[in-house]
Structure 1
Amino acid sequence: MKINVLTLFPDMFTPLTTSMLGRGLEDGKWDLNLVDFRDFTSDVHHHVDDTPYGGGAGMVLQIMPIKKALDSLANKGKVIITAPQGKTFNQKMAQNWSQEENLTFICGHYEGFDQRIYDLADETVSIGDYVLTGGELPTMSMIDATVRLLPGILGNAASPIEESFAHGLLEYPQYTRPEDFEGMKVPAVLTSGNHQKIAEWRKKESLRATALYRPDLLADYHLSDEEKKLLAEIKHEDDEA
C-alpha cells in the first residue's frame, strides 16, 4: 500500500516512521509519500491561503496548489479530506481502507478549505466532535489504524482479529504475569488450561465491557442466542452486586 499525504507540515509525520509502522516502512510493507502543497504555489511568497469571499475571520486554503499537488501524483487512489463535518472514522473504515492499493489524505489548516476542494475528494472524515489546529493529527491516527491491519505489520497475525471493534464489541480483559500481584489475582479460568471455558469467559467479558462502557455499540450488533443468554447472566450478576 502507498499512502500520499498533502500537508503544509510534513515534519509532523515522524511518529509514523517509528515502532511497528516504522519497521513496516523499512521492510517495504507500505510506503509513505509526504507532499508539501506549498511547493505547488505560483507566487514568490508561496501563499496557500487567502481571505474568504464575502468577508469573515481567518484565512481559507486555496484550491489551486492542492489541485496541482493532487495532479502530480501518479496514483491517488481514494482521496480523503479530514474535516469536522465529515463522517466519523471507525474500525470498519480502517478495514476497508486497508484493502486499497493507494490512499491520499489532504490535511487542512487555518480556517478550512475552499469549498471546491471537497469536490476533489472521495470521502470527508472526522475523528470526533472537536476542532484541532490542522488535519495532520487526525490523518496520522487514521493511517495508524489502517496500516496496522496490513499483513506483516503486527507481530501476531491474530491481534487485529481479536481486538476491540473488530467484531463490533470491545475486547475482553487481558492479564499477564504475575498471577497474584498484591492480592489482585488473575481470573482462575485463564490459568485452567480449558480452552473452551477460556473462550466462553472471553466472549462474556467482551459483552460485559461493551455493555458497561459502550452500550451504543450493542444497538447495531446482532446478538446470537448464546450472547443474549450471556447478557442476561451479566445483568443478573450486576443486579446481585
Structure 2
Amino acid sequence: MLIETLSVFPELFEPYMSTSIMGRARRRGLFDFMAHDLRDWTHDRHRTVDDAPFGGGAGMLMKVEPLHEAISDIASRGEVRPRVVFFTPCGGTFTQGVAQRLSRAERILFVCGRYEGMDERAYDMADERLSIGDYVLTGGELPAMVVSDAIVRLLPGALGNDMGSVDESFSTAEDGGLLEYEQYTRPAQFNGRSVPDVLLSGDHAKVDAWRRANAIERTCRWRPDLIADARLSDEERARAEALIARFHDADGGGRA
C-alpha cells in the first residue's frame, strides 16, 4: 500500500509516520508513505495557494488551480491511480468499517485542506469525502494521520500478530461492532479494586463468555447507539435492552 498526502505543511507527517506501530510497519515494507507539498504546483513567486472568497466573508479559500494540477499530476504517476480522499464536514463519517475498506486499497491520496476551506470545484477531484467528527480543526493533516493510523494497523503483520485487532472496539463495525471488553494487568488488587475472579481462573471458555457479556454491558453503558446494529443473539439483545433501560434515564441522558 502507498499512502500519500497533499498539504501545505508536508513536514508534519514524517515524525508520526516513522514512530511506533506506523514506523515498524513502514520499515517492514507493509506500506510506503509520501508527503507532497501543494506549493510545488504554484506558478507565482509567492507560491500562493489561497485567495479571498467571491461574495466576501471571513477567511481565505484554497485555490482550485494548484489543487487540480497537483492531484492530476500525482494521480498520473505509477501504475495504480490513487483513491483521492478529501476531508470536509460534508463527508461521510469515518468509522472502523471505512478503515477496513480503505485498508484494501493499493494507493490512497489524502488531500488536506487549510484556511476557511476549499474552492468547491476542487471537490470534483474527490473519489471520497470523509469527516472524522463534528468539530473544527485547523487543517486536514490531523485527520489524514488519524485515518492512516486506523488503516495501517489493519494491514496483516502491522501489529506483529494478524489477529491482533480482531477483538478491538468497533472491529466489526461494518455489521455493528461492540466496544471492547475491560482489560486488566498486574497487580491483581489496586486501591481496593480487584481484577474479576474469572480472569484469574485459567478457564478460557469462562473468560471468553465473560468478555462477551462485558463488551455488551460496556456498549450499553457508554455507546447504546451501537446496540441497534450489533450482532446479538435474542437472549443478548433482551439483556442489552434491559441494561440500557437501567443505565440511562428516560431522556437518554443519565448513567448508573
Shared topology, TM-score over 0.5?
A: yes
Aligned CA distance change for structure 1 residues 38 and 232 (closer, same or farther; 3 Å): closer
Pair 1:217 & 2:218 matched = no
What corresponds to 2:164 in structure 1? 159
Q: Unaligned stretches of 5+ in structure 1?
A: none
What corresponds to 1:54 in structure 2? 55
Pair 1:9 & 2:14 matched = no
What corresponds to 2:252 in structure 1? none
Which structure 2 residues correspond to residues 57-72 of structure 1 after superposition, within 5 A? 57-72=58-73
Decide whether the 8 Å contact of 2:220 with 2:244 is kept in 1.
no
What corresponds to 2:204 in structure 1? 195
Please state whether the residue corresponding to 2:165 is helix, strand or coil. Answer: helix
CA distance in 2 between partners of 1:87 and 1:235 (Å): 27
Q: Give the CA deviation at 1:66.
A: 1.3
- How large is the Cα RMSD of the aligned pairs? 2.0
**Normalising by the residue count of structure 2, what TM-score does the alignment of the two structures yield?**
0.88
Q: Unaligned stretches of 5+ in structure 2?
A: 249-255
Q: Give the CA deviation at 1:79.
A: 0.8
Which structure 2 residues correspond to residues 88-237 of structure 1 after superposition, within 5 A? 88-167=93-172, 168-228=177-237, 230-231=239-240, 234=243
CA distance in 1 between partners of 2:188 and 2:181 (Å): 17
Pair 1:38 & 2:47 matched = no
- Deviation string, structure 1 residues 41-77 (Cα, Å, up to 9, x no partner): 0111110111112222211111111122112222442
Percent identical pairs in the alignment equals 48
Please state whether the residue corresponding to 2:56 is helix, strand or coil. Answer: coil
Q: Give the CA deviation at 1:95.
A: 0.4
CA distance in 2 between partners of 1:201 and 1:79 (Å): 42
**Normalising by the residue count of structure 1, what TM-score does the alignment of the two structures yield?**
0.93
Aligned CA distance change for structure 1 residues 188 and 229 (closer, same or farther; 3 Å): farther
Decide whether the 8 Å contact of 1:204 with 1:231 is kept in 2.
no
CA distance in 2 between partners of 1:227 and 1:140 (Å): 36
Higher mean C-alpha displacement, 151-160 vs 99-108: 151-160
Decide whether the 8 Å contact of 1:97 with 1:146 is kept in 2.
yes
Match of 1:80 among 73, 79, 85: 85
What corresponds to 1:24 in structure 2? 25
Higher mean C-alpha displacement, 161-170 vs 49-58: 49-58
Decide whether the 8 Å contact of 2:41 with 2:70 is kept in 1.
yes
Please state whether the residue corresponding to 1:69 is helix, strand or coil. Answer: helix
Decide whether the 8 Å contact of 1:170 with 1:206 is kept in 2.
yes
What corresponds to 2:251 in structure 1? none
CA distance in 1 between partners of 2:241 and 2:207 (Å): 19
CA distance in 2 between partners of 1:57 and 1:186 (Å): 55
CA distance in 1 between partners of 2:116 and 2:11 (Å): 21
CA distance in 2 between partners of 1:174 and 1:133 (Å): 35
Q: Give the CA deviation at 1:221.
A: 2.0
CA distance in 1 between partners of 2:244 and 2:151 (Å): 35
